[in-house]
A and B are shown apart, each in its own frame.
Chain A
Amino acid sequence: MGPVEVLWAVLIGVFAMVGVVRGYPKELGVTTTILAGLLLLTKGGESALVVVDSFLVRNGQPSAAFEGPYSELIQALFYILVFVAIVVISYHGDTLAFTGVPPRGPVGMMLNLASGFLNGYLISGTIWHYLHTFDYPIQVLGLFRPPLTDFAQNYLVPLMPVPLLEPYLLFLVPFMIVMRVLR
Chain B
Amino acid sequence: MNLPFEPAMLQYLIVIATALTASTMIGLKRGWRGQLMAFIPIVSVWGVLQLKTEALVATVNSTYKGVLFFASCGSQADTSACLESSGVAHAMLVDPASADQSRLLLLLLFVSAVVLAFTFVMRLGRPPTSLVQRLLGAVLGVANGFTLSYLVLPLLSYGQRVNLPVVSATAEGELPNIASNLPSLFDTPQVSVAVVILALIVLFVFVAVRLMKPMEV
Point out residues on A near B: beta carbons under 8 Å: 24-25, 28, 31, 98-103, 105-108, 111, 114-115, 118, 150, 154-155, 157-159, 161, 163-165, 167-168, 172, 175-176, 179, 182-183
The 6 closest A-B pairs by CB, nearest first: A100-B212, A164-B194, A158-B3, A154-B4, A179-B209, A168-B198
Q: What are 22 A-B residue pairs whose CB atoms fall within 8 Å in the complex?
A: A24-B208, A28-B208, A28-B209, A100-B213, A100-B215, A101-B213, A102-B211, A103-B211, A103-B213, A108-B211, A111-B207, A115-B204, A115-B208, A158-B193, A164-B197, A165-B194, A165-B197, A168-B198, A172-B198, A175-B205, A179-B205, A179-B209
Query: Which residue of chain B has the shortest Cβ distance to A171 in the bound complex?
Result: B198
Q: How far is the CB of B205 from chain A (nearest CB, A)?
A: 6
Q: How far is the CB of B82 from chain A (nearest CB, A)?
A: 60
CB neighbours of A179 from chain B (8 A): 205-206, 209
When chains A and B are docked, how far (Å) is the Cα of A33 from the Cα of B2?
29
Additional pairs, 4, CB under 8 Å, beyond known A150-B176, A159-B193 = A99-B214, A102-B213, A157-B1, A158-B3
Q: How far is the CB of B22 from chain A (nearest CB, A)?
A: 18
CB neighbours of B4 from chain A (8 A): 154-155, 158
CB neighbours of A28 from chain B (8 A): 205, 208-209
Number of interface residues of B (CB under 8 A): 25
CB neighbours of B206 from chain A (8 A): 179
CB neighbours of B3 from chain A (8 A): 158
CB neighbours of A118 from chain B (8 A): 201, 204
Q: Are B198 and A154 in contact (CB under 8 A)?
A: no
Q: How far is the CB of A126 from chain B (nearest CB, A)?
A: 14
Q: How far is the CB of B156 from chain A (nearest CB, A)?
A: 22
Residue B190 lies at the interface, judged by CB distance under 8 Å to chain A: yes
Q: Which of B2, B193, B202, B212 contacts A98 (CB 8 A)?
A: B212
